[in-house]
Structure 1
Amino acid sequence: MLDHCSILVAEDEGLIALDLQMTLEDEGATVVGPYSTVESCLDAVEKQSFDFAILDVNLRGRNVFPVAEKLIRRGIPFVFHTGHGDRIELLKKFPDAKVYRKPTEIHHLIENLASR
């Protein structure tokens, strides 16, 4: 379903990151990361090539907004995958982003990625 799609994963919880990575790879995607800090994500956005990003809102106590803003400037679509972020506030700041609350059923996330 996600053949030839490269996806950056920003997630600081190891089990969730591993689950996302394995599920995306099972669907044919190439995973960039997962990255667990804002700094490593910003570096990856500068140096890596990918089609899409999945962003946890809170990475080790820092919000991921600088990464989202850089993705917007580069024209790379993303979704938020969060257990902490306020959906309404996220959509005010990033109106074009989709927000998935943890735990989310992964097939919803994959359907969104496949439709892009």
Structure 2
Amino acid sequence: MHVGTGREWTGDRVPLRRRRWCGEQYDLQGDEWMTSEVTSSVLILDDEVIVALDLAQTVEDAGFAVSGPFHAAAPALEAIEHAPPRAAILDVNLGGQNTSRDVAIRLSDMDVPFIFLTGYDVSGSEVLESFPAVERVSKPVDMAGLIDWVQRTMIR
């Protein structure tokens, strides 16, 4: 089964019936791509496929809709403009010189709360230095703590 990456799923974990990658939703029952507009969702931006899919499944298992997950800032920004999320989980480093800074700026401009996933200290990242008041979750991710943040944020 392909999940938008061209790679076959070989994990021992059974994926959700529907899984999204890069803003498209893949229906595992058929081989059709479909999109959905969800405005009360949690946007997920992480360049690591397994991490992103695990985050998405964990958020959905907690009862929340997911926008994404997205692997790069550009498709995440498009999704934000199309259907703004209620909250967002952003990986700071998106591979190479790419970061989630532009997404964080846009979400901040829209007053959408977000949290950073990172292995960096504040002093080691321009993105974190730009948003010192934003909460961070260190990698490896404490999923229980992250879901607690999502719950607190979505209830506001």
Partner of 2:105: 69
Kindly report structure 1 stretches of 4+ aligned residues shifted beyond 3 Å.
Answer: 88-92
Partner of 2:57: 22
> How do residues 1-116 of structure 1 correspond to structure 2 at under 5 angstroms?
6-61=41-96, 62-83=98-119, 85-88=120-123, 89=125, 90-116=127-153
Structure 1: stretches of 5+ with no match in the other structure: none
If asked which structure has higher relative contact order (CA below 8 Å, sep 6+), I would say 1
- How many residues align? The count is 112
Cα distance, 1:43 vs. partner? 1.1
Does the 8 Å CA contact 1:53/1:79 hold for their aligned counterparts?
A: yes
Q: Deviations over 1:10-31 (max 9, x none)?
A: 0111110111011110000100
Structure 2: stretches of 5+ with no match in the other structure: 1-38
Answer with 1 or 2: which has the greater Rg: 2
Larger helix fraction of residues = 1
Root-mean-square deviation (CA), in Å? 1.7
